[in-house]
Amino acid sequence: MKTPRFVPILTAIIIVFISVVPTFAQNKVEPIDIEGVNKMMIVQDCPLFLVATAAWCGPCRQELPILNKLYAKYKEHGLKLVAISLDADGPAGMQRLVDALDLKFPVYWAGERMASAYNIFGVPTILIVREGKVQERIIGKRDENFLERKISSLMSNCKP
């Protein structure tokens, strides 16, 4: 039986499509170095919520959907929320989580060096940053009420 001519080219197109699709993911977990994190911390007006997280961490996987919900609610009020993955072996693990949980806020991968650079001994830890400095640390998983109270209190003086 003769193979139709379009089969090879169609197969090739499908392979290319499959390999390229992840790069067009809506929220790609990009690598970032400590210098990049330092630059990100220079924020004006509104505080930055820097979430140290990891794909292997159970409490982090429970907290990320809560943060996603609060981000959707307070984004227009000027909430700046960024997650940094501390996973040792690259961004792939966190990318699976970002896709599955449909996280809307930016997520970067810095690896374990982030822990020593910012004195983080456990995940999740939320660093609340104002004018380039860590003003507060929220260590461990917190419930929605706690996080919403914290965000809304800090956003009250914020100019979106």
Partner 1 sequence: MMWVLRRWIQTAATFLSNAYLMFPASRNIYQGRLKSVCTPGLNCYSCPAATGACPLGSLQNFYATLRPGLEQGRLHVGLYVIGFLGIIGSLVGRMPCAWVCPFGFLQEIIYKIPSRKFEIPHVLIYGKYVFLGLFIVILPAVVVDDFGYGVTWFCKYVCPAGTLEAGIPMLALQPSLRELIGPLFYNKMAVLLLFLILMVFIKRPFCRVVCPLGAIYSLFNRVSVFRMVHHPDKCVLCEECYRHCPMGVRFYEGANQVDCIRCLKCYQESCKFGAISYEVAGIRLPSIRTKRPEKEAPAD
**Residues near partner 1, by CB under 8 A:** 55-56, 58, 61, 88-89, 92-93, 96-97, 100, 112, 115-116, 119, 121-122, 137-141
We find the least distance from the C-beta atom of residue 92 to partner 1, in angstroms, to be 5
In the block, tokens 């970067």 appear at: 108
Least Å distance, CB 69 to partner 1, is 18
Nearer to partner 1, 45 or 136 (CB): 136
Minimum gap (Å) between residue 142 Cβ and partner 1:
8
Please state the closest distance from residue 20 (CB atom) to partner 1, in A. 20
- Beta strand 48-53 with 125-130 is antiparallel
Instruction: Give the contacts of 122 (CB within 8 A, at least 6 positions apart).
Output: 139, 140
| Residue bearing tokens 């609340």 | 128
User: Which residue's CB is nearer to partner 1, number 72 or number 100?
Assistant: 100
Which C-beta is closer to partner 1: that of 10 or that of 100? 100
CB of 90 to partner 1, least distance (A): 8
Q: In the complex with partner 1, which residue's Cβ is closer, 80 or 141?
A: 141
Q: Which of 127, 105, 122, 121 shows the shortest CA–CA distance to 51? A: 127
- 126 by DSSP, 3-state: which? strand
Judged by beta carbon, residue 77 or residue 130, the one nearer partner 1 is: 130
* Number of other residues whose CB lies within 10 A of the CB of residue 128: 17
Give the dihedral sign, CA 62/93/104/37.
Answer: positive
